[in-house]
């Protein structure tokens, strides 16, 4: 298992859930929910800098949930996430950005919060963070079992 903090992101149309792992890559925990739109990439870059804690090598990568259909195909939502992830790569360079399948993570996060007694309004306030935790924890568990991080690394493109 690679050592280093991973940042997990669940980008939605209105909010971005943010999670982090411990440096050993065992456990994902919620960080915050960032409003989507002007300043969202800058806020995520600030979170990354804070997680680096003075050590630029401390954050290993950023994992972004990629919404796919149950069949595995990519629709309009996945296209929007890929475009946003392209901009994110430039905002957090040189930290690698990885896209990871996020099928059913919001459903899992909603169920988990419901089981823990979170009501509608309280659940909506943290569901994006919980979905980011589910995405990141799945990536951590998969890497621990397989020895390989799932998903795909996004390369910095030349388009602004």
Please state the rounded mean pLDDT for residues 92-101: 96
Does the pLDDT at position 69 exceed 60? yes
Percent with pLDDT over 90 in the chain: 70
Helices 105-115 and 120-146 cross at an angle (nearest 10°) of 120
For residues 6 and 22, give the distance between their C-alpha atoms in angstroms, rounded to a whole number. 8
pTM for the model stands at: 0.88
Higher pLDDT: 110 or 142? It is 142
Beta strands across the sheet bearing 152-154: 28-35, 15-21, 5-11, 59-66, 97-101, 152-154
From the list 62, 118, 120, 50, the residue with the least C-alpha distance to 94 is 62
**Averaged over 3-18, what is the pLDDT?**
95
CB 59 within 8 A of CB 4: yes
Across 44-56, average pLDDT: 95
d(CA 151, CA 87): 18
Q: How far apart are CA 62 and CA 141, in angstroms?
A: 16
| Bridge pairing between strands 5-11 and 97-101 | unpaired
Read off the pLDDT of residues 121-158 as tens digits, 9 standing for 90 and up: 555 668 889 889 999 999 999 999 999 999 999 987 75
């Amino acid at each position: 298992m690679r050592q280093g903090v991973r940042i997990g992101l669940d980008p939605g149309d209105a909010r971005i859930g943010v999670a982090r792992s411990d440096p050993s890559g065992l456990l994902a925990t919620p960080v915050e929910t960032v409003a989507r739109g002007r300043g969202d990439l800058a806020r995520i870059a600030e979170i990354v800098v804070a997680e680096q804690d003075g050590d630029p090598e401390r954050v290993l990568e950023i994992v972004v949930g990629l919404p796919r259909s149950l069949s595995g195909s990519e629709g309009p939502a996945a296209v929007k996430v890929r475009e946003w992830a392209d901009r994110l790569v430039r905002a957090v360079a040189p930290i690698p950005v990885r896209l990871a399948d996020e099928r059913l993570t919001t459903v899992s996060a909603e169920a988990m919060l419901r089981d823990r007694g979170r009501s509608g309004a309280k659940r909506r306030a943290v569901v994006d963070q919980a979905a980011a935790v589910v995405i990141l924890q799945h990536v951590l568990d998969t890497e621990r079992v397989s020895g390989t991080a799932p998903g795909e690394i996004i390369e910095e493109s030349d388009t602004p």
